[in-house]
Amino acid sequence: MTVLVLGDQLNAHVGPLADRPDDPVLLIEAADLARRLPYHPHKLTLVFSAMRHFRDRLRESGRTVEYRQVERFADGIEAHLDAHPGDDLVVMRPPSDRAGERLRALVERYGGQLTVVENELFLCSPEQFDGWAGERSSYRHEDFYRFMRRETGYLMDGSQPVGGEYNYDDQNRETPPEGYVPPDPPTFEPDAITRDVRSRVAETFDGGYEEPPYGGAWADPGPFRWPVTREQALSVLEAFVTDRLEEFGPYQDALVADEWALHHSLLSPAINLGLIHPRTAIERVIEAYHERDVPLNSVEGFVRQVLGWREFMRHVYRREMPELAGANQLEQTEPLPPFFWTGETDMACLADVIDGVRTRGYSHHIERLMILSNFATLLGVEPQQLNRWFHAAYVDAYHWVTTPNVVGMGTFGTDALSTKPYVSSANYVDKMSDYCSDCPYYKTKTTGEGACPFNALYWDFLDRNAEHLADNHRMGLVYNHLENKDDGEREAIRERAEALRERAQRSEL
Ligand code: FAD
């Protein structure tokens, strides 16, 4: 039997790789997968370099590894089965919708068999989640998270949560003082393998696939910096636990201009590739809590993200696909503005965040939610267009994780996983960030030249979607504010919003 290892399953400690130590391994580096979207070059470099390092590590440990570099993934399967007719393969179930079934059909087409086993790179099995969720089709994260705390015993004191509460999010909304300098994020010099992959990515994919419509958006990204081996990923975890964990909680929702990492762990690229298991990250953070005086709100905040949100998203996706990917309950139809690709906007918040994405294929959670998704939702962008952009632009992006985050949480394309849209005007962006002071737009103005676009777009969004949202009891207060605006003001807001939508498409915001 041969263990087929997919590019996001680079972990020798779980699944068939661990259970079948004497069986040969097949890895396929396929160009067609990299051409599906205009991926950020750092994403392609990350995945291919991590695969090649993983191959070498397995070989060093004495395993037989067949590494096939091919144009089409199917070519790799065909070549393997030509060399080993009728072979039995085994693979962990990929989290993408129906990918296991597609893989099985592909292997059978070339005369082999494929056994698809559970993906052990997650903490919650499908049976566990389905047992918790039952027949429901709208899901509440907090309930699931509490269930997972009890199931795993993480941060539990018998049957009670450590500290008496399950969730300390109300302590996690601070903004750093002026001039605050967060610890330097870890970075890794590209070695020979990564340099080689970078050249291949530049030669093979630059312009060789669907070019972003606005002229080589990723043509000149900054230096590649992400961990490509398990050792490097573990050192990111150690750097997080040592230097960043204390303030992770308080500054989790903060935004600071030019500070792209703040106290975030930067672990998602490595966890999503399998380089470290989510269990390893959680247990190391809990260990630090027992070793030294780390605030519980920071430790719990991190555990909630990995044990709660990450697992929750994976299973909501599993259950709600394929409808989830196309969901658009607010019937938003606006195209994604070109500046998401080019970064050409005067709005200080959007310019800074998009510049970061262009430079390194990453922005932290609240930038994704409060700046990028919020703005796109207010503008009326079709969720699918935003999802495609996130999937292409980020080093940690895979369909299973962007889709629920963007279509569900970010744009309220469905109410399967949140009860109201995550939208705000400039007021909240200003409260949580330092962007507005250096922005040419006025945060307190709603209409008229120079007014911050978030404001008119916010009221216009509420107005346009009143039929859908006004009865939502969590939105009663904002709809009261809207009702208090007179007809003239509401008309001026509509006109301003319409003009902003046009300007956004012309890159004149
Ligand atoms: P930290 O802030 O340090 O959090 C720790 C870990 O928690 C992360 O590494 C991640 O593994 C996990 N996590 C936290 N929130 C989520 C979540 N909502 N969904 C899944 N995992 C979570 N995450 C991705 O991994 N890939 C994506 O493509 C992605 N796209 C997103 C798009 C939008 C619109 C939004 C709102 C969120 C998205 N997220 C995505 C979730 C989250 O923003 C990232 O996981 C996080 O920013 C990664 O940075 P970090 O490792 O420094 O995270």
**Do 109 and 78 fall within a single domain?**
yes
**Do 92 and 241 fall within a single domain?**
no
* Cβ–ligand 1 contact at 462 (below 6 Å): no
- Sheet order of strands, 88-92 included: 65-70, 25-30, 2-5, 88-92, 113-117
* Cβ–ligand 1 contact at 369 (below 6 Å): yes
Q: How far apart are CA 292 and CA 264, in angstroms?
A: 20
| Domain assignment of residue 274, yes or no | yes
**Do 476 and 348 fall within a single domain?**
yes
| Domain assignment of residue 216, yes or no | no
**Do 159 and 269 fall within a single domain?**
yes
Residue of minimum CA distance from atom 4 in ligand 1: 305
Distances from the Cα of 260 to the Cα of 245, 264, 341, angstroms: 16, 9, 18
The ipTM is 0.99
| Domain assignment of residue 213, yes or no | no
Give the pLDDT of residue 222. Answer: 85
Give the pLDDT of residue 216. Answer: 65
Residue of minimum CA distance from atom 52 in ligand 1: 266
Whole-angstrom distance between the N-terminal and C-terminal Cα of the chain? Answer: 58
Distances from the Cα of 128 to the Cα of 30, 42, 98, 124, 246, angstroms: 34, 35, 19, 6, 32
Q: What is the CATH number of the domain that holds 296?
A: 1.25.40.80
Residue of minimum CA distance from atom 34 in ligand 1: 406
**Do 106 and 169 fall within a single domain?**
no
By CB atoms closer than 10 A (0-12, 13-18, 19+), residue 444 is exposed
Pocket probe mutation, ligand 1, options 365, 395, 403, 406, max atoms within 8 Å of Cβ = 365
Q: Separation of 252 CA from ligand 1 center, angstroms? A: 12
Q: Separation of 446 CA from ligand 1 center, angstroms? A: 32
Q: What is the CATH number of the domain that holds 89?
A: 3.40.50.620
Domain count for the chain: 3
**Do 169 and 254 fall within a single domain?**
yes
* Cβ–ligand 1 contact at 392 (below 6 Å): no
Q: Separation of 365 CA from ligand 1 center, angstroms? A: 6
Q: How far apart are CA 308 and CA 288, in angstroms?
A: 19
Pocket probe mutation, ligand 1, options 362, 401, 422, 423, max atoms within 8 Å of Cβ = 401
Q: Are strands 156-157 and 160-161 parallel, antiparallel or unpaired?
A: antiparallel
Give the pLDDT of residue 57. Answer: 98
Pocket probe mutation, ligand 1, options 265, 268, 311, 374, max atoms within 8 Å of Cβ = 268
| Domain assignment of residue 399, yes or no | yes
**Do 110 and 132 fall within a single domain?**
no
**Do 236 and 302 fall within a single domain?**
yes
* Cβ–ligand 1 contact at 306 (below 6 Å): yes
| Domain assignment of residue 214, yes or no | no
Beta bridge partners of 95: none
| Domain assignment of residue 295, yes or no | yes
Give the pLDDT of residue 74. Answer: 98
Give the pLDDT of residue 221. Answer: 79
Range of the domain at 392: 339-505
Q: What is the CATH number of the domain that holds 393?
A: 1.10.579.10
| Domain assignment of residue 217, yes or no | no
CB-based contacts of 344, cutoff 8 Å, min separation 6: 338, 507
**Do 236 and 99 fall within a single domain?**
no
* Cβ–ligand 1 contact at 240 (below 6 Å): no
For residue 22, the tally of other CB atoms under 10 A from its CB is 8
| Domain assignment of residue 331, yes or no | no
Residue of minimum CA distance from atom 38 in ligand 1: 405
**Do 154 and 15 fall within a single domain?**
no
Instruction: From 117, 136, 158, give the residue that closes a domain.
Output: 117
Instruction: From 286, 320, 354, give the residue that closes a domain.
Output: 320
Q: For residues 365 and 266, is the Cβ–Cβ distance under 8 A?
A: no
Q: Separation of 114 CA from ligand 1 center, angstroms? A: 31
**Do 14 and 75 fall within a single domain?**
yes
Instruction: From 61, 95, 117, give the residue that closes a domain.
Output: 117
**Do 110 and 74 fall within a single domain?**
yes
Give the pLDDT of residue 208. Answer: 45
Q: Find, among 204, 229, 9, the residue nearest to 103 by Cα.
A: 9
Pocket probe mutation, ligand 1, options 253, 265, 305, 318, max atoms within 8 Å of Cβ = 305
- The string of pLDDT tens digits covering residues 410-453 is 999 999 999 999 999 999 999 999 999 999 999 999 999 899 99
Query: Chunked in runs of 10, what are the mean pLDDT values of the chain (509 residues)?
Result: 98 97 97 90 95 98 97 97 97 96 97 98 98 93 97 97 95 90 94 95 68 65 93 98 96 93 97 98 97 95 98 97 97 96 94 94 97 98 97 96 98 94 95 94 95 98 95 92 94 97 96
